[in-house]
Amino acid sequence: MFIQMAAFAGLCLAIEYNLWERLKGFGFQYWNDCVDFQRRQRGSQKLVVAKDLYKKYAPFLPTAVDSLSFELGRNECFGLLGVNGAGKTTTFKMLTGEIMPSSGHALIAGHDIVTDARNARLFMGYCPQFEAVVGNMTGREMLTMYAMVRGIPNAYIAEEVERIIAKLDLPRYAEKLSCTYSGGNKRKLAVAAAVVGDPKVILLDEPSTGMDPVAKRFLWNVISDMYNSEDKSVVLTSHSMAECEALCSRIGIMVAGKFRCEGEIQEIKNNFGGGYHVEFRFTSNEQLRKLVHFMSVECPQAKEIESTDLYCLYQISQTEAHLPTLFKKIKQAKQQSGFEAFSVSQTSLEQVFIKFANEGSAEV
């Protein structure tokens, strides 16, 4: 039993300090590259720096993350978008040091996630995708435990826990077992655990999943306050385009482990959105038939995206869409076909996302 105790203690320490990664050759050259990379980034004001992150779990499996690079300064929120399996959660696991990248580097507040994971985690809070709550502890007990793990002095733990409970609007549930929380309140508690200790970098993996609209809007305000007024950086993943437009200063859309586009939301809409969408609604199939004929003759540059018996959507590229002329044509179409209603809008972020997702599925 004594030998087993020593052996398993040594195994735990080896896992904690990534000894296997150091010995297997991931390895000495990688460690030298890490030191060089840290030296080049020294003095940078960026809180998160990812450079060519690459992860392949096994030779016979597809690449999970492929040459991912981005930077994040203070008071910024970066959104990682992608369908299920695009590599978002794997990216988060590499940024937290839960798994090692096959190659590439990442710094959290200047500390490498591989060679200096212990110090990197001091500046990081993480809300995982799954429910990271301890069911047989109350919300207050769980946050107290996280504060102790964070190393907050005992004299300040109660004050810090009360601050977080008030911030996430959890006073009514703080004394209840977390297993009795609703799905939305469990997500709130998971976010609360991520911000204990006031970390500079907060990673949120689909934080608003399962929340009702009111709770979701409240959480958006909390996240916005964190990176706008508290000198922090936030990286979040989400399937809600509205959430990303409300919170993110920049986004990256991932397909099959790599970025298909990255930048400010309006920039992405302009570059990849395809211009304007014109939507028509009808009360009869005859109106649809007349409109299709009119558009084919008067607006041949318009591309029909989809249509049903009572609905039709056209896309016009930004270079070909002169809005005064477009509205004049729509007025003529109204006189000839008599459609019920119409709307003109710039391509939405959701439509850009679907476009890239469909292209990725076609490539696979």
- Which tens digit of pLDDT belongs to each residue from 183-233? 888 989 999 999 998 889 999 988 888 888 888 999 999 998 888 877 889
Q: Could you tell me if 210 and 86 lie in one domain? A: yes
Q: Could you tell me if 26 and 84 lie in one domain? A: no
Q: Could you tell me if 295 and 255 lie in one domain? A: no
Q: Could you tell me if 98 and 143 lie in one domain? A: yes
Whether residue 225 contacts residue 75, with contact meaning beta carbons closer than 8 Å, is answered with no
Q: Is residue 356 part of a domain?
A: no
* Separation between Cα atoms, residue 256 and residue 60, nearest integer Å: 15
To which H or E segment does residue 91 belong? helix 88-96
Q: Could you tell me if 195 and 79 lie in one domain? A: yes
Q: Could you tell me if 256 and 327 lie in one domain? A: no
Mean pLDDT over 130-157 rounds to 88
* Separation between Cα atoms, residue 97 and residue 133, nearest integer Å: 20
Q: Residue 209 pairs with which residues in a beta bridge?
A: none
pLDDT of residue 29: 47
Distances 75 to 234, 265, 276, 324 between C-alpha atoms, Å: 8, 17, 32, 39
pLDDT of residue 201: 92
Domain span at residue 7? 1-42
pLDDT of residue 5: 93
Q: Could you tell me if 87 and 192 lie in one domain? A: yes
Q: Could you tell me if 251 and 285 lie in one domain? A: no
The CATH number of residue 294's host domain is: 3.30.70.1150
End of a domain among 269, 299, 314? Answer: 269
Q: Is residue 354 part of a domain?
A: no
Sign of CA dihedral 145, 150, 155, 159: negative
Q: Is residue 301 part of a domain?
A: yes
Q: Could you tell me if 82 and 136 lie in one domain? A: yes
Q: Could you tell me if 26 and 55 lie in one domain? A: no
Q: Is residue 65 part of a domain?
A: yes
The CATH number of residue 254's host domain is: 3.40.50.300
| Number of compact structural domains in the chain | 3
Q: Is residue 358 part of a domain?
A: no
* Separation between Cα atoms, residue 212 and residue 209, nearest integer Å: 9
End of a domain among 225, 249, 269? Answer: 269
Q: Is residue 352 part of a domain?
A: no
Q: Is residue 125 part of a domain?
A: yes
Q: Could you tell me if 216 and 279 lie in one domain? A: no
Q: Is residue 2 part of a domain?
A: yes
Q: Could you tell me if 18 and 155 lie in one domain? A: no
pLDDT, tens digit (0-9, with 9 covering 90-100), for 242-273: 888 889 989 999 888 888 888 888 888 878 87
CA trace torsion 77, 82, 88, 91 (10° rounding): -80
End of a domain among 248, 269, 290? Answer: 269
Question: Residue 15: pLDDT above 90?
Answer: no
| Angle at the Cα of 63 from the Cα atoms of 267 and 273, rounded to 5 degrees | 20
* Separation between Cα atoms, residue 176 and residue 185, nearest integer Å: 11
Whether residue 110 contacts residue 41, with contact meaning beta carbons closer than 8 Å, is answered with yes
- The residue type of 118 is R
